[in-house]
């Protein structure tokens, strides 16, 4: 695995030269932030050795290098999901490549179902913490000490200082910013009413099918992580809420400019 990671990192370095320390994962319907990147260089996933290929509508499948404001960034336009059939090492392979490229900060976005009654569709939820309900763990198996420790600490998986900065920026710019716990599930089915109630009872504020594996590996790699969910539908305990991928994409599009602004401002103010 280490050879594959290094070969992919070397390929990317050969293609784009200097490597930024900021990486962004753009989730469903969240391509807006990519439009804000200037001096772009794009690498389609299918041209990058060892990279999986995204199969989900709304996940175009390319690495974008460029500037967000005056900071160099790497953006993943399209991510890999466990439900597509990739194993957790494949789902998180891009994070290992970012680690090999010396990326220090990972910004993650996703579309998620709201479970907190105070949320509205289109809200942005700053992720404070997660509950991992995936059936497979990205760190299961042999641990490579050069990648990280066997038993990583997860007490600050969503970096507190970055979260405080994001909240400060949202307040300064009158952007409503919810916050809460993200529940990561395998999908591809949306949750049943009983699962929905279970997720809420165990402390979830939003539910989705991504983010948790990437954040675990990013913490293993000692990256600082900041993550947001765009709330695309709101379930209410006891009320059946029908969800479609099209509605998810539509709702995400509405909220993404605000999320893009916050991430851009956070990157601008770091260091």
Q: Summarize as ranges the residues that interact with ligand GU7 (CB under 6 A).
A: 28, 56, 81, 111-113, 187, 190-191, 207-209, 232-233, 235, 243, 245, 248
Q: How far is the CB of 154 from ligand GU7 (least distance, A)?
A: 22
Q: Number of C-alpha atoms within 13 angstroms, CB side, residue 125?
A: 32
Whole-angstrom distance, CA of residue 157 vs CA of residue 259: 20
User: Chain centroid to CA 171: how far?
Assistant: 23
Q: Which is nearer to ligand GU7, 65 or 119 (CB)?
A: 119
Q: How far is the CB of 144 from ligand GU7 (least distance, A)?
A: 29
Q: Which is nearer to ligand GU7, 33 or 100 (CB)?
A: 33
Q: Which is nearer to ligand GU7, 211 or 224 (CB)?
A: 211
Cβ contacts of 78 within 8 Å, gap of 6 or more: 26, 45, 54, 56, 58, 59, 60, 61, 62
Q: Which is nearer to ligand GU7, 20 or 208 (CB)?
A: 208
Cβ contacts of 139 within 8 Å, gap of 6 or more: 148, 152, 216, 217, 220
Q: Which is nearer to ligand GU7, 38 or 189 (CB)?
A: 189
Whole-angstrom distance, CA of residue 224 vs CA of residue 136: 23
For 209, phi and psi rounded to 5 degrees? Answer: -120, 25
Tell me the residue number closest to ligand GU7, measured at CB: 113
Q: Which of 244, 235, 247 is nearest to 198 (CA)?
A: 235
Cβ–Cβ under 8 Å, residues 199 and 191 = yes
Q: Which is nearer to ligand GU7, 57 or 87 (CB)?
A: 57
Q: Which is nearer to ligand GU7, 64 or 112 (CB)?
A: 112
Q: How far is the CB of 210 from ligand GU7 (least distance, A)?
A: 6
Element (H, E) at 5: helix 2-16
Q: How far is the CB of 197 from ligand GU7 (least distance, A)?
A: 13
Element (H, E) at 270: none
Q: How far is the CB of 80 from ligand GU7 (least distance, A)?
A: 10
Q: How far is the CB of 251 from ligand GU7 (least distance, A)?
A: 8
Reading phi first (left if > 0) and then psi (alpha if -120 to 50, else beta), residue 204 is in beta
Q: How far is the CB of 191 from ligand GU7 (least distance, A)?
A: 6
User: Chain centroid to CA 4: how far?
Assistant: 23
Q: How far is the CB of 148 from ligand GU7 (least distance, A)?
A: 27
For 190, phi and psi rounded to 5 degrees? Answer: -70, 160
Q: Which is nearer to ligand GU7, 5 or 255 (CB)?
A: 255
């Amino acid at each position: 695995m280490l050879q594959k990671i290094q070969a992919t990192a070397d390929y990317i370095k050969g293609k784009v030269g200097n490597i930024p320390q900021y990486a962004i994962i753009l989730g469903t319907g969240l391509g807006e932030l990519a439009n804000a990147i200037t001096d772009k260089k794009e690498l389609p996933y299918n041209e990058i050795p060892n990279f999986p290929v995204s199969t989900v509508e709304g996940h175009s499948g390319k690495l974008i290098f460029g500037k967000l404001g005056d900071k160099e960034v790497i953006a993943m336009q399209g991510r890999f999901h466990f439900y597509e059939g990739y194993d957790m090492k494949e789902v998180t392979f891009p994070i290992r490549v970012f680690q090999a490229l010396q990326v220090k900060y990972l910004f993650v976005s996703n579309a998620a179902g709201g479970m907190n009654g105070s949320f509205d569709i289109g809200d942005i939820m700053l992720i404070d913490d997660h509950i991992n309900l995936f059936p497979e763990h990205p760190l299961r198996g042999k641990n490579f000490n050069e990648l990280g420790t066997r038993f990583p600490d997860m007490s600050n998986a969503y970096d507190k200082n970055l979260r405080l900065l994001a909240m400060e920026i949202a307040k300064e710019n009158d952007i409503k910013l919810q916050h809460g716990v993200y529940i990561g599930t395998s999908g591809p089915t949306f949750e049943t009413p009983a699962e929905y109630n279970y997720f809420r009872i165990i402390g979830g504020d939003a539910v989705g099918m991504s983010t948790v594996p990437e954040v675990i590996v990013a913490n293993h790699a000692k990256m600082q992580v900041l993550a947001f969910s765009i709330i695309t539908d709101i379930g209410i305990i006891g009320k059946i809420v029908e969800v479609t991928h099209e509605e998810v994409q539509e709702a995400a599009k509405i909220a993404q400019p605000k999320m893009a602004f916050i991430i851009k401002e956070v990157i601008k103010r770091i260091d």
